[in-house]
């Protein structure tokens, strides 16, 4: 292909899209993107394949029966996301005797799943004909060992070396030695006799009339010189996968409603969260950001994702905090945008990352991960009363606070600003990190260093949460000092960022402290932190819910009519479900329950149009039209962790739910349910060492909260 030169060097090149009929599996460090047939089609610059640790180990895998692609009957992911199930049948073909075999005679059932760095597949052939049949099948495959950044569109001048295929009676080896001197090998094991020539596996299947024959393939993805000696059988791997998923479900409370479509969205989101959560370094449970582009640990994404579902699964937050503490920067490294105390942006272990062809092996270029880390620590303490973990992590929180004051505030004005030091790092370092996402009302780029409005809001809450943690630990002087810092920041923020004529906050201040006078969703995220003064709340809420910002499917990242507005852009007019969810949480805090319900309904209705009720990373910001689905964004990650977690914090926002574990207290602040929810049940909600079951009933203008299991020791209060 011809590579395009684009100013944003980490832009995903749109030479092909993520097909809407793609099927995604993930387990551990491995993910796969198949088509509806269960194949990986050989298309130039396709994102399909099986990836392990950021490398595509299998780039082409296509099944044929008698030289023909079968007819597709059905293709679906199981409800738990674990297994791809595909039903096919044969096209018309002739036996070697010349006798015809009519289409629909042979049922082909494929089951595929991933487990422990391997892909497992079972293909069952059932002969519904009246005579015995013997036919040929073939699998065409290839392995390009492309780095995920190559698949995204980046060009590499040099590559490692593909070694010749080798094979035994039942196993094929495809080795590659990277420029990092690591040997990576794709190993395909087939339990049926076969011939192998030039990337094609040929085998013969014999089936008696009304009988079934099964064959199994196990494809392993090896890094280094280790042998594939611990291959688990298909059935054992399948059982372990089911057990792992069941254990994942046990970590969350159960949420059900009387609305089946809503239940589908909730359950799909829960299953996506389980799938995206990965055990990093065999120690930390961490939600990987999204498939395919961001299937690795991201600081910002992990922090926001665990914040969204903290009330439903606080254990995930502990893993996120511990992992990010273990990777916290300890020294100045300009090439990584790292400074002492700064929290990770992302970590990758692919070939290009190891060779520093990209800076993201361990990269720190996000301005918001550090205050979010402190915020989440305080929220986790309130939710769990786990003072032992907070005490263990306290030195890391202190380092993060010091980073905010010393390195985050580049010019000493009390605001947190960014300007990259790395020549290859990200230009913009907030959550809207496209090169064109921060600009002035005349459309010109903002001058660096840039202070984002939502980052000041995060910093405000971070100082408060740091003060709270310090008070728990007995350092009341630290608590008093940092509560005062928060108060000063709130006053300074309002004066510098509020735009009275626009009814919102500037998206940012540029390097000259000039406000970027743009109506954006960033201002909406300020609400949940408490930095917004009471007299601003109504005006800001109304601005966010005006038609130019609220598309009907959610709040646009940039309001229509603003310069650079484009509903098909990544950050300048699209709708991001996690962004909408955080704004909803803020509108709950400011008392705008009707707006919270409107935002909840907008994302819920969008989910009903999505395949498998899976809400993607982002979709286009076109106005909602009656009877039409939202317009999909062509390169959106799906699943995406913080989109999957959005439903949890939106339900929390509707209910005004807060949990104070120290006092074993659950509080509902003006709970509200939209007409689409008649009742909502929360079961096995853990508070300390006890759990509680709750039923929330909708009576139109009123909502009741009932406890279905008494004598738990948990206090429940409701403010109407």
Going from N- to C-terminal start, the domains of the chain cover: 23-242, 251-655, 666-719
Per CATH, which fold does 23-242 belong to? Beta-galactosidase; Chain A, domain 5 (2.70.98)
What pLDDT is stored for residue 203 in this prediction?
93
What pLDDT is stored for residue 4 in this prediction?
41
CA–CA dist 400, 62 (Å, integer)? 50
Residue 20 banded pLDDT, cuts 50, 70, 90: low
What pLDDT is stored for residue 1 in this prediction?
33
CA–CA dist 319, 492 (Å, integer)? 35
Mean pLDDT confidence for 295-302: 97
53 Cβ contact list (under 8 Å, min separation 6)? 29, 223, 349, 350
290 Cβ contact list (under 8 Å, min separation 6)? 276, 301, 617, 637, 638, 639, 640, 641, 643
Q: To which H or E segment does residue 480 belong? A: helix 476-497
The C-alpha torsion from 449 through 464 and 468 to 326, rounded to 10°, is -20
Q: Give the 3-state DSSP-derived string for 493-518, with helices as H, strands as E and coil as C.
A: HHHHHEECCCCEECCEECCCCCEECC
pLDDT tens digits along 599-641: 999 999 999 999 889 999 999 999 999 999 999 998 899 999 9
Residue 700 banded pLDDT, cuts 50, 70, 90: confident
Mean pLDDT confidence for 104-108: 98
Query: Which residue in the block uniquely carries the two structure tokens 């602040």?
Result: 669
CA–CA dist 375, 397 (Å, integer)? 10
CA–CA dist 646, 310 (Å, integer)? 11
Does this model's pTM top 0.75? yes
Mean pLDDT confidence for 578-585: 98
CATH class, range 251-655: mainly alpha
Mean pLDDT confidence for 130-159: 94
Instruction: Map residue 627 onto helix, strand or coil.
Output: coil
What pLDDT is stored for residue 227 in this prediction?
67
Instruction: Map residue 184 onto helix, strand or coil.
Output: strand
CA–CA dist 668, 656 (Å, integer)? 5
Q: How far is CA 69 from the centre of its chain?
A: 33
Mean pLDDT score of the chain? 94
239 Cβ contact list (under 8 Å, min separation 6)? none
Of the CA atoms within 13 Å of residue 265, those in its CB half-sphere come to 26
pLDDT tens digits along 140-151: 999 999 999 999
CA-wise closest residue to 302 among 246, 255, 269, 343: 343
Backbone angles phi and psi of 31, in degrees to 5: -140, 155
Residue 647 banded pLDDT, cuts 50, 70, 90: very high
């Amino acid at each position: 292909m011809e590579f395009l030169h684009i100013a944003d060097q980490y832009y995903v090149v749109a030479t092909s899209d993520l097909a809407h009929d793609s099927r995604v599996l993930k387990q551990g460090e491995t993910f796969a993107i198949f088509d509806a047939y269960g194949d990986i089609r050989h298309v130039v610059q396709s994102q399909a394949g099986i990836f392990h640790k950021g490398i595509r180990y299998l780039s082409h895998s296509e099944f044929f029966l008698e030289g023909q692609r079968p007819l597709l009957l059905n293709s679906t992911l199981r409800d738990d996301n674990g297994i791809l199930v595909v039903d096919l049948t044969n096209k018309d073909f002739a036996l070697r005797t010349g006798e015809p075999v009519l289409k629909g005679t042979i049922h082909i059932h494929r089951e595929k799943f991933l487990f422990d760095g391997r892909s497992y597949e079972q293909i069952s052939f059932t002969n519904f004909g009246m005579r015995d049949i013997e036919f040929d099948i073939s699998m065409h495959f290839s392995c390009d060992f492309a780095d995920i950044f190559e698949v995204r569109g980046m060009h590499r001048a040099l590559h490692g070396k593909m070694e010749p295929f080798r094979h035994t009676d039942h196993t094929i080896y495809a080795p590659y030695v990277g420029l990092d001197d690591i040997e990576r090998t794709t190993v395909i094991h087939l339990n049926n006799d076969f011939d192998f020539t030039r990337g094609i596996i040929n085998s013969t299947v014999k089936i008696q009339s009304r009988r079934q024959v099964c064959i199994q393939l196990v494809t392993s993805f090896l890094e280094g010189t280790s042998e594939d000696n611990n291959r688990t059988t298909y059935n054992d791997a399948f059982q372990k996968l089911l057990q792992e998923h069941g254990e994942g479900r046990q970590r969350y409370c159960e949420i059900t409603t009387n609305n089946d479509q809503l239940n589908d969205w909730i359950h799909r989101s829960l299953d996506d969260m389980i799938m995206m959560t990965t055990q990093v370094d065999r120690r930390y449970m961490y939600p990987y950001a999204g498939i395919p582009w961001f299937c690795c640990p991201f600081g910002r994404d992990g922090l926001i994702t665990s914040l969204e579902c903290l009330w439903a699964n606080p254990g995930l937050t502990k893993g996120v905090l511990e992992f990010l503490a273990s990777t916290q920067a300890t020294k100045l490294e300009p090439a990584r945008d790292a400074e002492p105390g700064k929290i990770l942006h992302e970590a990758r272990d692919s070939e290009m990352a190891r060779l520093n062809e990209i800076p993201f092996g361990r990269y720190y270029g996000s301005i918001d991960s550090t205050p979010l880390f402190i915020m989440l620590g305080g929220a986790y303490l309130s939710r769990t009363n786990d003072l032992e973990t907070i005490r263990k992590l306290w030195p890391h929180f202190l380092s993060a606070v010091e980073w905010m004051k010393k390195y985050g505030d580049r010019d000493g004005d009390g605001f947190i600003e960014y300007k990259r030091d790395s020549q290859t790092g990200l230009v913009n370092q907030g959550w809207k990190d496209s090169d064109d996402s921060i600009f002035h009302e005349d459309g010109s780029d903002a001058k660096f260093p840039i202070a984002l409005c939502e980052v000041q809001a995060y910093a405000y809450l971070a100082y408060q949460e740091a003060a709270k943690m310090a008070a728990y630990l007995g350092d009341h002087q630290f608590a008093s000092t940092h509560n005062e810092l928060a108060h000063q920041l709130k006053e300074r923020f309002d004066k510098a960022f509020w735009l009275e004529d626009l009814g919102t906050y500037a998206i940012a201040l540029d390097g000259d402290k000039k406000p970027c006078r743009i109506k954006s969703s960033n201002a909406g995220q300020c609400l949940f932190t408490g930095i917004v003064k009471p007299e601003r709340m109504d005006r800001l809420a109304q601005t966010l819910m005006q038609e130019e910002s609220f598309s009907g499917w959610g709040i646009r990242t940039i309001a229509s009519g603003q310069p650079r507005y484009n509903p098909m852009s990544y950050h300048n007019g699209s709708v991001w479900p996690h962004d909408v969810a955080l704004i909803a949480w803020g509108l709950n805090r400011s008392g705008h329950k009707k707006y919270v319900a409107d935002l909840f309904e907008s994302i819920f209705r969008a989910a009903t149009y999505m395949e498998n009720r899976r809400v993607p990373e982002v979709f286009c910001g076109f106005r909602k039209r009656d009877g039409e689905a939202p317009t999909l964004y062509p390169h959106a990650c799906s699943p995406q962790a913080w989109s999957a977690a959005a439903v949890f914090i939106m339900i929390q926002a509707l209910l005004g739910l807060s949990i104070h574990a120290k006092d074993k207290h659950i509080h509902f602040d003006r709970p509200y349910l939209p007409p689409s929810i008649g009742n909502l049940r929360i079961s096995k909600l853990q508070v300390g060492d006890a759990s509680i079951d709750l039923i929330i009933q909708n009576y139109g203008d009123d909502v009741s909260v009932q406890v279905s299991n008494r004598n738990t020791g948990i206090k429940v209060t409701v403010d109407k």
